[in-house]
Amino acid sequence: MTAALFTARGIRRTFGPTVALADAEITLYPGEVHAIMGENGSGKSTLLSILSGALEPDEGQLTYKGQGLSRLTSASARDQGIAVVQQEPQLSPDLTVAENILLGRLPTRLGRIDWPRVYARAGEVLAELDLDLDPLSKVSTLSIGRRQMVEIAKGIADAPNVLLLDEATSSLDEADTNRLFALVDRLKARGTAIAFVSHRMSEVTERADRATVLRDGHYIGTTRIDETDEHSLVAMMVGRDLKSYWHKVPVEPGEDLLTLTGVSRNTLSDLNMRLRSGEIIGLAGLVGSGRSALLRTIAGVRPASTGEVRLNGTPVQITSPGQARRLGIGYVPEDRKAEGLVMGWSLLQNASLSKLGQSGPFAMITRAFDRAAYTHGAEGLGIKTHTPEQAVSELSGGNQQKVVIARELATGPRLLLLDEPTRGVDVGAKEDIYAQISTLVQGGMGLIIASSELQELMGVCDRILVLFQGRIVAEIPAAEATEQSLAYWASGAHEIADTAPQPEQI
Amino acid sequence: MTDTSLPATPTGPRLAERLRRHIGVGAALVILIAYLSLTQDNFLRYSNIMNILRTNSVLFVVSTGLTFVIVSRGLDLSVGSMTALGGVLLAALLNAGIPAWPAIGLTVMLCTLLGGLINGGLIAYGGFNFFVVTLAMLQLLRGAALVMSNGIPESTFGWPAVQWIGDGQIAGFPVPVLIAILTGLIGYAVMRWTKFGRSVYAVGGNETAAGLAGIDVRRVRFAVYAIAALCAGIAAVMLTGRLTSSQPVSGAAGLELSAAAAVLLGGASFAGGAGTVAGTAIGVLFLAVLANGITLAGVPSYWQGIATGLVLIAAIALDRLRKT
């Protein structure tokens, strides 16, 4: 192998009493795609921040092109060809796409900004990303996914030698993710070293050449992807062997739990589905395809305008989330921080939030009420906290997600709707959630899970419905589904193609 | 440690949390009281203490209602004007020949209805900004009080029941103070132990999450403005009784701001989701003792505003300091 391009050794970084990194190391070679892996809190993002110059290490050595680097800053990193793409787009919403891409290095002519060159250069960068975006449009008019693509364009505008991606795909849909990785392939061919942090195992196994695993701020090891598999990687990350990651067990489906017949409301049209107890249906689709909208309709947030919803065979009108809870429908929304939790509250108080809607107007809401909700709802979820009196804001993402799920389970639902149940959740907590899902269906609950992680849908669900522009375009048994077939239907390729790649039952 | 069991002594952190929340202003109140006891001979007299409580019972009742609104992440600027209008309404009803007790009940009901329907209706169901709506109502209700009365105070001297509420005594204890204590206890219990109270905290803490979890956010918002108006209506009767007349021009002027200051001093914040009626009681007492101390020390009462403002800034600075 050629000489290393960028290495970090013995990196230590603390934040007050917290040791984020104890002894991290990584070596990046030109023309390689390198995944940085670890559970939440393992120090991945801190390491990336140190590589990008955003954070200074307390101890340790950075070597770039054979030279020791001292006092790397964000600006000097960029000057030396080290570019970073953040998880959250760091853009100025009132400026145009072009201005954002070239911000801080707008080409000038006679001291004035050379606008023709700005737009030409921005256009080139967008073309390199195969992105159909007007360089003149304002960033504030773009969706989150599009903004993330602009953030990526910003990162590659200087033709970097090292590109660092911090969970760059977490808000991207399948198509944009593919664009990003097509770009990664081209950069790799040019000799760029790419390091990325991702929670999606399939991205790592399909895209990376090597992976470095961190656990609790320690360097665990670096391995070639073609010499390992998902299970070994997960085992490295969590520090133990995992028998069966998805906890899938065959369950004999029972009675019809939920049926939708011709359900429509503005963006959703003519949806039909049937869920039996003990069954798990997965909803796949791009961002905006209607998978979240469908869950919201069943949860009573946005009631259906036409069509029939039957619960246990009885037609019902679900007009509010409170009513949905009383009917035995639990709903875990997509964004746990904005839509799920009251961040200033303790675990106990959050645990009883949904149960509140089930109790009568004169019910006494005492600590016993909260405790009962928590004890009942959190059972088996493995929430890690030294006391349930702790504020949820102090918990990790995985534990916060478990609290939202516990809150719904406290209401004793027969049908549970989960929207992105494991987004931004570490592997250990993901597994706990999968195990709980397994326990629930064995107890006869029915679940509908919307997720952008296709591996997760295929691993956990019995059947997968694919949505495209508010319609259900395919129904595929999970055992027969592949990432390719799901992506085919989700992208709307069937609208253009004359023949489907494989016969599906619609 | 993957347990869902509960620790043996769960009150520990909660108690500490509550202490932390109230200790700032509570401690300042204790120090202020200690200082005044040592330097002002008259301060600890029964008559002085009762005077402090009596004159501030109106402020406390209004502040209790406002606590609900601020915890729900709102604000009601119209409570002072509502109190003034309530007084005018009561005087008008009495002078129209309606007996005292029905007139008192009617006054409180009318205030609740007005505040609930207009403030609560527009904010909760109309989606209007609370600041704009209640600022408009501050003007509108005060204007209505002036129009109804032509700006002239009307005596309620002939109705002993009204006087009794504002200035009477039960076994030597002032009735308005009893009303304030009762209102505070009910308010505290409702916020602490009822489904509605918890919903107010949830809506203030994270409106979206509360709604998705099944809480009827609009109904909660509607109710808090009705409660603020209800408390203003009760305060109107108390104030009218104490002054033995309605005061459309000067009555309850600036009351909404004093009440907001008391609620904020008591640990609530405009960010919503935090605050208790107990904290508000400490806030009211602090402002009351401070004003009393200024008077006893012979400092011109004009200084009171400056002192209140400084205390409020200090309290909020302290709060920020503790949080970081």
Smallest CA–CA separation between A419 and chain B, in Å?
Answer: 13
As beta bridge partners, residue A316 has A309
Residues of chain B contacting residue A342, judged by C-beta atoms under 8 Å apart: 201-202, 205-206, 209-210, 273
Contacts of B31 (CB under 8 A, 6+ apart): none
| Predicted local distance difference test score (pLDDT) of residue B38 | 93
Nearest by CB to B206, which of A321, A331, A342? A342
Q: Which CATH number fits domain A6-238: 2.40.180.10, 3.40.50.1100, 3.40.50.300, 3.40.50.920?
A: 3.40.50.300
Joined tokens for residue A4:
């290393």
Q: Is the pLDDT of residue B6 over 80?
A: no
Give the pLDDT of residue A503: 46
Strand A6-15 versus strand A59-64 pairing type: antiparallel
pLDDT at position A505 is: 46
Report the distance separating Cα A485 and Cα A505, nearest Å. 12
Chain B residue numbers touching A343 (CB-CB < 8 A): 205-206
Contact at 8 Å (CB) between B50 and B177? yes
Which one of A341, A365, A386, A417 makes the best mutation probe of the B interface by having the most chain B beta carbons within 10 Å?
A365
Q: Which residue has the higher pLDDT, B305 or A11?
A: A11
Nearest residue to A253 via CA among A282, A278, A281: A278
CA A218 – CA B37 distance, rounded (Å): 61
Looking at beta carbons, which residues of chain A come within 8 Å of B217?
none
Is the minimum CB–CB distance between A449 and chain B shorter than 8 Å? no
**Domain A242-328+413-506 bears CATH identifier 3.40.50.300:** yes
Helices (H), A352-396: 353-356, 367-378
DSSP 3-state of A364? strand
Place of tokens 């419905």: A465
What is the distance between the alpha carbons of residues B188 and B197, in angstroms, rounded to a whole number?
9
Whether B193 and chain A come into contact, CB under 8 Å, resolves to yes
Query: For A37-51, B140-154, B156-170, B190-204, which range has the lowest pLDDT when averaged over its residues?
Result: A37-51
**Are the beta carbons of A342 and B205 separated by less than 8 Å?**
yes
CB hemisphere CA count around A236 (13 angstroms) = 20
* pLDDT per residue as tens digits for the range B201-212: 999 999 999 999
Would you say residue B72 lies in a domain? yes
Which of the four pLDDT bands, split at 50, 70 and 90, describes residue B5? very low
pTM, rounded to two decimals: 0.79
Grade residue A499 by pLDDT with cuts at 50, 70 and 90. very low
d(CA B247, CA B230): 19
Strand-pair partners of A450: A283, A419
**Is B99 within the bounds of a domain?**
yes
Q: Is the pLDDT of residue B22 over 60?
A: no
Q: Which of B20-29, B93-102, B243-252 is predicted least confidently? A: B20-29
Which residue type, as a one-letter code, is found at position B35?
Y
Q: What is the mean pLDDT of chain A?
A: 88
Which CB contacts under 8 angstroms, 24+ apart, belong to A382-388?
Answer: A382/A429, A382/A432, A382/B2, A383/A347, A383/B2, A383/B4, A384/B1, A384/B2, A385/A347, A385/B1, A386/B1, A387/B7, A387/B10, A387/B13, A388/A346, A388/A347, A388/A348, A388/A351, A388/B4, A388/B6
CB atoms < 10 A from the CB of B157, how many?
10
Asked if the model's pLDDT at residue B169 lies above 90, the reply is: yes
| A266 band by pLDDT with thresholds 50, 70 and 90 | confident
Q: Could B216 and A345 be called an inter-chain contact, meaning their C-beta atoms sit closer than 8 Å?
A: no
Please name the residue ranges forming H helices in A273-313.
291-298
Contact B195 A339 (CB under 8 A): no
For the record, the structure tokens of A326 come out as 């009383």
CB contact under 8 A, A321 and B213: yes
pLDDT band at A446 (very low <50, low <70, confident <90, very high): very high
Q: Is residue B202 part of a domain?
A: yes
- Does B213 sit within 8 Å of A357, measured CB to CB? yes
Amino acid at A74: S
**The pLDDT of residue B240 is above 60:** yes
CB contact under 8 A, A362 and B2: no
Choice among A101-110, B230-239, B268-277 with the minimum mean pLDDT: A101-110
From residue A348, how far is each of A387, A421, A504, B111, B210 by CA, in Å? 9, 20, 46, 37, 15
Using the predicted structure, report yes or no on whether residue A494 has a pLDDT greater than 70.
Answer: yes
Q: Rounded to 5, what percent of chain B is helix, strand, coil?
A: 75, 0, 25
Average pLDDT over residues B171-192: 96
Asked, for residue B46, whether it belongs to a domain, the answer is: yes
Residue A9 pLDDT exceeds 90: yes
Q: From A411, which residue of chain B is nearest by alpha-carbon distance?
A: B213
- Predicted confidence at residue B1, as pLDDT, reads 37
Q: Which of B1, B2, B4, B323 is the best residue to mutate to test the A interface, defined by the most A CB atoms within 10 Å of its own CB?
A: B4
> What does the DSSP assignment read for A112-154?
EE-HHHHHHHHHHHHHHTT----TTSBGGGS-HHHHHHHHHHH
* CA pair distance A27, A90, nearest whole angstrom: 27
Q: Over range A140-151, report the average pLDDT.
A: 85
Segment holding A106, helix H or strand E: none
Residue B230 lies in a domain: yes
Backbone φ and ψ for B229, nearest 5 degrees, come out as: -70, -35
Six token digits for residue A411: 């209401």
Six token digits for residue A362: 């004169």
CATH number at B227 reads 1.10.3470
Q: Nearest CA to A378 among A336, A446, A439, A298?
A: A439
Q: How far apart are the first and last CA of chain A?
A: 50
Three-state SS string over B14-67 comes to: HHHHHHHHHHHHHHHHHHHHHHHHHHCCCCCCHHHHHHHHHHHHHHHHHHHHHH
In this prediction, residues B305-317 reach a mean pLDDT of 85
Structurally, chain B folds into a number of domains equal to 1
Question: Exposure pattern of A276-286 as b/e (b: 16+ CB <10 Å)?
Answer: bbbbbbbbbbb
Helix (H, G, I), strand (E, B) or coil at A164: strand
What pLDDT does B9 receive? 38
**Residue ranges of chain A that CATH labels 3.40.50.300:** 6-238, 242-328+413-506
* Burial grade of A340 (CB within 10 A; 0-12, 13-18, 19 or more): buried
Q: Give the residue, A498 or A431, on which the prediction is more confident.
A: A431
Provide the pLDDT confidence category of residue B18 given band limits of 50, 70 and 90: low
State how far the Cα of A494 lies from the Cα of A33, in Å rounded to an integer.
32
Q: Count chain A–chain B contacts defined by CB atoms under 8 A.
A: 108
Q: Does A138 touch chain B (CB under 8 A)?
A: no
Say yes or no: B151 contacts chain A, CB-CB below 8 A.
no
What band does B17 get if pLDDT is binned at 50, 70 and 90? Answer: low
CA A177/CA A148 separation, integer angstroms: 10
- Whether B8 and chain A come into contact, CB under 8 Å, resolves to no
* B211 part of contact set with chain A, CB < 8 Å: yes
In chain A, which residues have their Cβ closer than 8 Å to the Cβ of B4?
374-375, 378-379, 381, 383, 388
Q: Quick check: A324 and A298 in contact, CB under 8 A? A: yes
- The model's pLDDT over B289-301, given as tens digits with 9 standing for 90+, comes to 999 999 898 888 8
DSSP-derived secondary structure for B193-211: HBHHHHHHHHHHH-HHHHH
pLDDT attached to residue B3: 40
Cα gap B119→B121, rounded to integer Å: 6
Query: Given phi > 0 = left and psi -120 to 50 = alpha, else beta, which region is A352?
Result: alpha
Q: What is d(CA A229, CA A215) in angstroms, rounded to the nearest whole number? A: 18
> Phi/psi of residue B117, each to 5°?
-70, -45
Chain B touched by A70 (CB under 8 Å): no
d(CA A501, CA A489): 10
Instruction: Give the chain B residue nearest A337 (alpha carbons).
Output: B209
Residues B37-62 have pLDDT tens digits of 999 988 999 999 999 999 999 999 99
Residues A447 and A419: their CA atoms lie apart, in Å, by 11
Closest C-alpha to A74, from A48, A36, A102: A48
* Token code pair at residue A113: 């900004």
Higher model confidence: residue A29 or residue A360?
A29
Smallest CA–CA separation between B106 and chain A, in Å? 26
Within a 10 A sphere around the Cβ of B75, how many other Cβ atoms? 20
Phi, psi values for residue A109, rounded to 5°? -140, 120
- Assign residue A83 a region (left: φ > 0; alpha: ψ between -120 and 50; beta: otherwise): beta
What residues are paired with A264 via a beta bridge? A306
How many CA atoms are closer than 13 Å to the CA of B70, on its beta-carbon side? 28
pLDDT at B8: 38
Test mutation, B3, B9, B18, B195, chain A, max A CBs within 10 A: B195
Angle at B54 between CA B52 and CA B60, to 5 degrees: 90
* In the predicted structure, residue A112 carries a pLDDT above the cut 80: yes
Q: Check B194 against A365: CB less than 8 A apart.
A: yes
Among A78-87, A190-199, B19-28, B81-90, top mean pLDDT goes to: B81-90
What is the reported pLDDT for A167? 83
Closest CA to B266 of B238, B288, B240: B288
CB A446 within 8 A of CB A328: no
Tell me which of B22 and A149 has the higher pLDDT: A149
Interior CA angle at A382 toward A378 and A388, to 5°?
60
Q: Tell me what the mean pLDDT of segment A386-413 comes to.
A: 92
- Residue B194 in this model has a pLDDT that exceeds 50: yes
- What residue numbers bound the domain in which B93 lies? 15-25+42-322
Residues belonging to chain B: 324
Question: What is the predicted pLDDT for the residue at B227?
Answer: 98
